[in-house]
Amino acid sequence: MGIRLLLIILALWALYIIVRRYLSRSIDSGNRQENNTTDNMVQCKVCNTYLPESEALIKEGDFFCSEAHLIAGNDES
């Protein structure tokens, strides 16, 4: 009797973990899709290199690949 009860508890616990994983996975994939749509490729104003918007430096609507180019871009104008 004791072993059967233990097996039932284990089965319910496993089911609980599977359901939790499934739910967290669906939430994660939703977040990833949002990140993909917002992560546009942008072009550095100075060297014209394409880089993800999340990695780019933005100043006054212009994109820069690095701090050095951000300063160089400001000196131009």
Q: In the complex, which residues of this chain contact Zn ion (CB under 5 A)? A: 44, 46-47, 65, 69
Spatial separation of the C-alpha atoms in residues 27 and 30, rounded to whole Å: 5
CB of 64 to Zn ion, least distance (A): 6
Task: Choose between 42 and 44: whose C-beta lies nearer to Zn ion.
Answer: 44
Task: Choose between 29 and 54: whose C-beta lies nearer to Zn ion.
Answer: 54
- Residues 6 or more apart from 44 whose CB is under 8 A from it? 50, 51, 56, 63, 64, 65, 66, 69
Task: Choose between 42 and 46: whose C-beta lies nearer to Zn ion.
Answer: 46
